[in-house]
Structure 1
């Protein structure tokens, strides 16, 4: 895939093209070009020697002719296409029949169109991808343990997989992830977002606090009151792009709300970890949040992982019950060991360090293996000897 991804906005309606161009301007990771069709041809790609990575095609009253021009193109000369047009099921069906990835009616919702374009960007990413993974962790119901799991997962990816990992605390008012690592609260997140245009990785690291394991944490730990409406969503996306360019994995702990800020992170994420517990109330909230993610944000089910925290097999609500209620094929269960988790948090010592052999730690290491696609790095003989000498 080209970097940035090139997107052609084409059609015969100059007003619609200008509106889309204005709406999508300055989106990070993508380069938009406009083409007003006025040469008698219906094909938006006619005589273009270097095809774009994606096409946004605005149809008109001549939609049959326009869609037919797409259908007549050889397979090797087609590109992933999003169609805009009137709210008409006949036109929508015809668009899908000629291979459109998605169909939008005017006025187009920016969030929905960008979600579709980001899906194309992920599909165009080569196998040896250059960008790191983005994992978004969010509670289905308040207090489910998303922050604890986000911190422990990020630490496991560093300690056991030996990858380079960034951890973002996106709870702008009550974030406390730094305390889980006995670190001074970082106040660098807002400044990093504001400076994302002119920041490189070295400057970004200066905004972060570092744990001895090698984990880098970025949060907002000051007394300054900040709400999500104060954050420029485009700047945040640029920061995410920078993080993914410098880290193997970026783990984001999100507050339990859906807005432009959290929505942008969720749509960009390679995996969304939806954290719940083993009660009917949690199931009800998880089902609602899954509906929002699937139907309103266009996040496919294969990118969402439901995590049942504090799992206890003795409780009446079984995994089968939860799977049936949520309509999901798989669950990830993290066993209940409240005492060890609470002790780890109170001491400011990561769970993997405080209780490495606990079932909770083992489950999180297994999750790290699954998400990274890598196996735990076994210490060398010298490493094991050093650990013994050090009393580990």
Structure 2
């Protein structure tokens, strides 16, 4: 950060406010202030002439009224907020519902609180300084498993890497990614694209489904027929910029055809994950799609990664054969575990949750590590409990 982020620590409990201030004081990159709420208002930002860039809100036993005050503020008067409060499931869920980025129970772990504030700081950076990664996942041949790969990758990034992740279902007519997470599909994508001129990140989140892992899903659940010609390409680009400014990673599940809409996403992607299976017909279709991507769309070959789904080393077609046929050296093999993947899909439970020791789950976590450049985060402590509740 070029300038310190202004952080207000506010609440009615003087001891907790003081403890948090002492925890963060002197921390490079933060400019702290504190406010004891004694004016009869529940709103920690009431009558402030200049809003902070982030708020750490210490709630009390009256958390319901205190959180309600945040919810009642106009969008223009809200700031990214971290909430501390009782070890109460309802309080945690309410905090997430009114837009809290994180929820912590005392005693708060210093590093977890700092991590939450650094995530907010990254969101505040202008797009010119920071942009999250964009991964476009597309089938080389119909039925190769791109939707399964996209869902599992996004979930692994959110659940194990603990990054802020958006999953976008770009199948305008038959998108179904919500069912993979047992979420009720709703129309959000088309409306979000149409409103991208006037939206901020908080408004965008209102269009998205939230899974308990922390993953945000943007899909199209409208019963109205939508075709790619209904989508304004300029508005789509603005939505992509907004997603990249607010999420560490955006994973896009693309339909298997090339038009203006899919073209924007393929050309903009930091990585194109081309999903194939271990058959000659898949490799033939992959060769044709690679020709379109590299020759006509100008996607560099080093931005394309082959994902060989349902890999079986006993089959005659080897990785060396595939590399020779397609000329793409980067390849990730996802082993075949059809029964567990199918069961996970039928239950609407992500495979990493349903079968964490499955070879497919382990391979997807390794892919998440490779693409993010980060290692998995140990799953310990109460500080991240809110993330498990955010989708409920």
Q: TM-score range by the shorter chain?
A: 0.5 to 0.7
Secondary structure, in 3 states, of the residue corresponding to 2:197? helix
Query: 1:130 aligns to what?
Result: 130
- RMSD (Å), alpha carbons: 1.8
Distance in 2, Cα, partners of 1:261 & 1:213: 29
Q: Secondary structure at the match of 1:137?
A: strand
1:378 Cα deviation (Å)?
1.6
**Deviation at residue 363 of structure 1 after TM alignment:** 0.4
Aligned equivalent of 1:205: 205
- The reply to whether residue 139 of structure 1 matches residue 133 of structure 2 is no
Matches within 5 A, 1:192-271: 192-271=192-271
What is the match of residue 346 of structure 1?
346
Residues of 2 paired with 1:186 and 1:312: CA distance? Answer: 37
Tell me the residue number matched to 1:297. Answer: 297
2:321 is equivalent to residue 326 of structure 1: no
Helix, strand or coil for the counterpart of 1:376? coil
Normalising by structure 1, report the TM-score.
0.64
* Contact 2:304 2:328 (8 Å CA) reproduced: no
* Aligned-residue offset at 1:129: 5.0
Per-residue deviation, residues 247-268 of structure 1 (Å, max 9, x unmatched): 0000000000001000001100
User: Is 2:328 the partner of 1:337?
Assistant: no
What is the Cα deviation at residue 330 of structure 1?
A: 2.7
8 Å contact kept, 2:305–2:328: no
Question: CA shift at 1:328, angstroms?
Answer: 1.6
Structure 2 counterpart SS, 1:306: strand
How many residues are treated as equivalent by the alignment?
Answer: 259
Question: Does residue 153 in structure 1 map to residue 153 in structure 2?
Answer: yes
1:6-25 alignment, distance < 5 Å: none
Judge conservation of contact 2:165–2:247 (CA < 8 Å) in 1: yes
Give SS of 1:193's match.
Answer: helix
Please give the secondary structure, in 1, of the residue aligned with 2:257.
Answer: coil
Structure with higher RCO (Cα < 8 A, 6+ apart): 2
Indicate how the Cα distance of structure 1 residues 314 and 383 shifts in structure 2: closer, same or farther if over 3 A, else same.
Answer: farther
Partner Cα separation in structure 2 for residue 373 and residue 186 of structure 1: 33
Go from structure 1 to structure 2 and tell me whether the alpha carbon gap of 1:129 and 1:162 turns closer, same or farther (over 3 Å shift): farther
Gaps of 5+ in 2: 1-125, 385-392
Residues 204-252 of structure 1: per-residue CA shift (max 9 Å, x gap): 1111110011110000112111011110000000000000010000000
Question: Which structure has the larger Rg?
Answer: 1
Q: Supply the distance in 1 between the matched residues of 2:382 and 2:194 (Cα, whole angstroms).
A: 45
Unaligned runs of 5+ in 1: 1-125, 385-392
Q: Matches of 1:274 and 1:221 in 2, distance apart? A: 25
TM-score by length of 2: 0.64
- The whole-number CA distance in structure 1 between the counterparts of 2:362 and 2:239 is 32
Change (3 A) 1:335 1:129: farther
CA distance in 2, matches of 1:327, 1:181: 35
**How far off its partner does 1:333 sit?**
0.4
CA distance in 1 between partners of 2:329 and 2:167 (Å): 28
The SS at the match of 1:198 is coil
Against the structure 1 CA distance between its residues 243 and 318, is the aligned structure 2 distance closer, same or farther, given a 3 Å change threshold?
A: same
Q: What is the CA-CA distance between 1:383 and the residue it aligns to? A: 8.8
